[in-house]
Each structure stands twice: as C-alpha cells, then as structure tokens.
Amino acid sequence: MLPALKNWNSHDFAVKSLDWSAARGSKLAYRCRRCGRIFHQFTIASRDIWAVDGEGRSLESMVSDQWLSTDCPRLFSPKDDEDRKRLTKVAGA
C-alpha cells in the first residue's frame, strides 16, 4: 500500500462506479459515510487517488495529500468544508 494510503482503512467507504473507458478503466468514487470525504480513482490508468468536492470537481493536491495522510475524523468537519472550496486551478482559466 502506498504510504499516503496507510490511513485508508480508517474510513467507512461507499463505492460507486462513475464511468468506464478502455484506456483508463473504471472511475470509482469513494465516499466516507462517517466524515463525508470523497475520493476518485481510475482503476487502470494510474494508482492515483484524489479528493473531490460534492460535485466531483478535483480539489488541490495539497488537500488530497492531507486527507489521504490522516485518519478519518469520524465526523463532518468545518475545516473540510473550507478544503472543499480549494478547487484545482484549470489551465487557461
């Protein structure tokens, strides 16, 4: 397991398949029932996992790294609500 994912099992995830492509495999959404954090992952293209907001928009990599490196807080957090506003900047935007 990747070092950043050592706390992955502290979450209680509901997993949903969002879409599929031959090149990248299934795109999965992991939503923790306890803290509400949501992560996405493609099953083939990479082993990367990234945090997203409630609408599936990617959050800054710093937020993903922090959320993946800490245990599940077990409750919805006001700090997480602030983190969900930190969207990845789109080139040319």
The predicted structure's pLDDT at residue 71: 94
Question: What is the structure's pLDDT at 1?
Answer: 44
Structure confidence at residue 90 (pLDDT)? 63
Burial of 43-70, coded b for 16+ CB within 10 Å and e otherwise, reads eeeeeebbbbbeeeebbbeebbebbbee
Confidence (pLDDT) at 45: 67
pTM of the model: 0.86
Mean pLDDT of successive 10-residue segments in the chain (93 residues)? 71 95 90 96 84 95 94 93 89 47
